[in-house]
């Protein structure tokens, strides 16, 4: 069998330097040798194989090395008829320290300033409070999080235990190593200074007492009572005004108090919350007055144009003669959806099955919306987003071509095919496959999380993540996206607000229900509900309650109960998604990592009620 040994020119190097690795291999017969270079960010070239005596050498030269390869396992593989062999070496690339982020204080168990830093050698960390050195104590200390699996990046928090108004101010993080230094400042606003109010009251009382004394001393006999009443009313009015100003200012900073002036807060938040309706095609049943066209998505101009330019993509146009319609799958919000065969889409096959979404009643406005939606769909390319192939605009026909997901939407797949009652449903041809296992349910959840990680990286907000809006293909492949044909089937999942807007309130967090605030954090909440749906085989959240009762439960902080077949490790993830404060919810990237770990090592769970 091959014996592999890697010899390195040096163990450490600074960023943008050069490294050489020699892979020495012996074996009989002479093995084939290769370097694994797929994940390298650094530039490289491989020298031709050289045989010295019975030893074969393959040299790898890294040039202008990148810190992205830091702590990367560089592997040399060899194989002959007797079997395989390999050796690996870990890259150790030094680079200046940098602060990835430092956020303003958020409250969890304690108040915390979250931060992430990167650097090699490992940086030293210190803090300033309002420009002066911050002395650490049991009430104020830096805590690092467990290894997050992203190389040399270190995540942590400056924890403050029960801070008061005396701790309000600027907190500066300073990091440094032998190659550089970086700093960033965040603000802590923990409590209103109660003494500001008392001092103001004292000054008002002192002023009016002085005025009153003068009026009594110098006025006529009949005026003291008038002056007393006037002073009392003035003092009351000033005090009331001051209290209201303080409350409004505070509530403006913390929307959780529920005081918003007009719609300025909502409009500002909505500008940040980009509506990702790119594959919904009208799943939320709209009224006749709204969503009548194809403009069911809103792109954020700060990101959308940049993405288009960076990706340098164009919408693919598909010829009408390449499409052969087979039969109708259903009717979406804007037209019919067909199963079809399409030619010239893939070099691997002559024809392939696709789903065709057609547009009816196409006027100039809907044609423009059609083009804009197609451009957006072209940008969104991910293995767990339903693939968009292109458009057909020959003649009067306007159609979008998507990959065909054979098993339909995930909710139907769970409840009618693989739930505990699937065997009693005659229509379920997939029931013969049996009830889903725990590893399979975790695998489904991890795929949806992977798609959401991608959308979050593009700063898109889905707004309606649910199992009904995910599709299932062959080999249990799950992707985000649907064709808008579930409107009648899932109409009870939506609640009409104000006579027009239909909202999936059972999947929405408190801030979305109360303030129509949609962010990546509100998508995290919805993902927790999707997890709950998966482990209940597609049950409707709060199925035992009416819509108004469900709204009351959600806004009052009640949580969905742990499903009977759900391990505690998964329910902890759900609870991490359902934190009332958006900033305290888990990050979708971390949720995805946790699910991948659970897929590899599923928790042992015995359903004793089975």
User: What are the residue numbers of the active site?
Assistant: 464
In eight-state DSSP terms, residue 415 is I
Ligand-binding annotation for 468, yes or no, is yes
Contact of 133 with 126, CB cutoff 8 Å? yes
Ligand-binding annotation for 357, yes or no, is yes
Residue 52: helix, strand or coil by DSSP?
strand
Ligand-binding annotation for 335, yes or no, is yes
Ligand-binding annotation for 212, yes or no, is no
Greatest Cα pair distance, the chain, in angstroms, is: 123
Residue 285: helix, strand or coil by DSSP?
coil
Ligand-binding annotation for 151, yes or no, is no
E-strand stretches of 103-177? 106-107, 111-120, 124-129, 132-133, 140-144, 154-160, 169-177
What angle in degrees, to the nearest 10, is found between the helix axes of 520-535 and 568-577?
Answer: 150
Contact of 173 with 134, CB cutoff 8 Å? no
CA gap 572, 569 in Å, rounded: 5
Taking CA atoms, 73 is separated from 37, 70, 83, 184, 297, in Å, by: 10, 9, 22, 32, 42
Ligand-binding annotation for 498, yes or no, is no
Ligand-binding annotation for 333, yes or no, is yes
DSSP code per residue over 16-51: T--EEEEEEEE-SSPPEEEE--TT--SEEEEPPPEE
Phi-psi region of 481 (alpha: psi -120 to 50; beta: other; left: phi over 0): left
Contacts 24+ apart (CB under 8 A), 291-295: 291/333, 293/334, 293/365, 293/366, 293/369, 294/334, 294/359, 294/366, 294/369, 294/370, 294/373, 295/369, 295/372, 295/373
Contact of 168 with 186, CB cutoff 8 Å? no
Ligand-binding annotation for 469, yes or no, is yes
Q: What phi, psi does 88 have (nearest 5°)?
A: -140, 155
Residue 312: helix, strand or coil by DSSP?
coil
Ligand-binding annotation for 330, yes or no, is yes
Residues in binding site for ATP? 329-337, 357, 468
Residues in binding site for Mg(2+)? 469, 482
Residues in binding site? 329-337, 357, 468-469, 482
């Amino acid at each position: 069998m091959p014996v592999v040994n890697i010899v390195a020119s040096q163990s450490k190097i600074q960023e943008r330097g050069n490294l050489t690795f020699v892979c020495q291999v012996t074996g009989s017969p002479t093995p084939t040798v290769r370097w694994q270079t797929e994940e390298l960010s650094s530039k490289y070239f491989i020298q031709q194989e050289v045989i010295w005596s019975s030893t074969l050498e393959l040299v790898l030269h890294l040039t202008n090395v990148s810190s992205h390869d830091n702590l990367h396992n560089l592997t040399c593989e060899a194989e002959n008829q007797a079997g395989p062999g390999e050796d690996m070496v870990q890259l150790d690339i030094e680079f200046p320290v940098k602060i990835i982020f430092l956020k303003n204080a958020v409250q969890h168990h304690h108040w915390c300033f979250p931060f992430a830093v990167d650097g090699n050698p490992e940086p030293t960390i210190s803090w300033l409070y309002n420009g002066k050195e911050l002395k650490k104590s049991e009430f104020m200390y830096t805590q690092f999080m467990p290894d997050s699996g992203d190389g040399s990046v270190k995540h942590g928090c400056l924890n403050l235990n029960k801070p008061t108004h005396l701790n309000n101010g600027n907190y500066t993080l300073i990091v440094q190593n032998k190659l550089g230094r970086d700093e960033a400042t965040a603000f802590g606003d923990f409590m209103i200074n109660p003494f500001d109010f008392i001092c103001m009251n004292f000054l008002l009382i002192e002023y009016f007492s002085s005025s009153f004394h003068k009026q009594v001393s110098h006025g006529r006999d009949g005026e003291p009572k008038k002056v007393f009443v006037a002073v009392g009313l003035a003092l009351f009015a000033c005090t009331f005004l001051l209290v209201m100003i303080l409350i409004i200012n505070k509530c403006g900073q913390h929307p959780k108090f529920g005081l918003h002036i007009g719609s300025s807060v909502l409009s500002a938040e909505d500008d940040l919350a980009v509506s990702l309706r790119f594959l919904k095609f009208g799943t939320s049943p709209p009224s006749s007055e709204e969503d009548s066209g194809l403009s069911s998505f809103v792109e954020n101009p700060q990101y959308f144009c940049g993405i288009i330019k960076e990706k340098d993509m164009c919408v693919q146009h598909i010829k009408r003669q390449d499409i052969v319609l087979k039969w109708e799958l259903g009717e979406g919000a804007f037209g019919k959806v067909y199963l079809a065969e399409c030619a010239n889409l893939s070099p691997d096959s002559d024809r392939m099955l696709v789903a065709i979404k057609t547009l009816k009643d196409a006027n100039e406005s809907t044609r423009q919306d059609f083009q804009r939606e197609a451009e957006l769909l072209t940008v969104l390319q991910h293995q767990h987003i339903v693939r968009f192939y292109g458009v057909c605009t020959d003649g009067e026909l306007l159609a979008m071509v998507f990959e065909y997901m054979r098993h339909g939407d995930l909710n139907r797949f769970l409840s009618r095919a693989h739930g505990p009652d699937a065997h009693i449903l005659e229509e379920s041809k997939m029931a013969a496959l049996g009830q889903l296992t725990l590893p399979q349910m975790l695998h489904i959840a991890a795929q949806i999380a992977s798609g959401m990680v991608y959308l979050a990286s593009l700063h898109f907000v889905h707004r309606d993540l649910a199992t009904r809006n995910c599709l299932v293909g062959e080999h249990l492949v799950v992707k985000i996206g649907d064709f808008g044909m579930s409107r009648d089937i899932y109409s009870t999942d939506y609640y009409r607000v104000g006579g027009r807007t239909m909202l999936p309130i059972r999947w929405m967090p408190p801030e979305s229900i109360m303030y129509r605030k949609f962010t990546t954090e509100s998508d995290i909440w919805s993902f927790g509900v999707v997890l709950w749906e998966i482990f209940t085989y597609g049950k409707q959240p709060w199925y035992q309650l009416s819509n108004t009762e469900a709204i009351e439960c959600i806004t009052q902080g009640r949580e969905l109960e742990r499903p009977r077949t759900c391990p505690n490790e998964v329910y902890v993830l759900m609870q991490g998604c359902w934190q009332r404060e958006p900033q305290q919810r888990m990050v979708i990237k971390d949720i995805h990592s946790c699910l991948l770990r659970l897929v590899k090592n599923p928790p042992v769970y015995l359903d004793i009620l089975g």
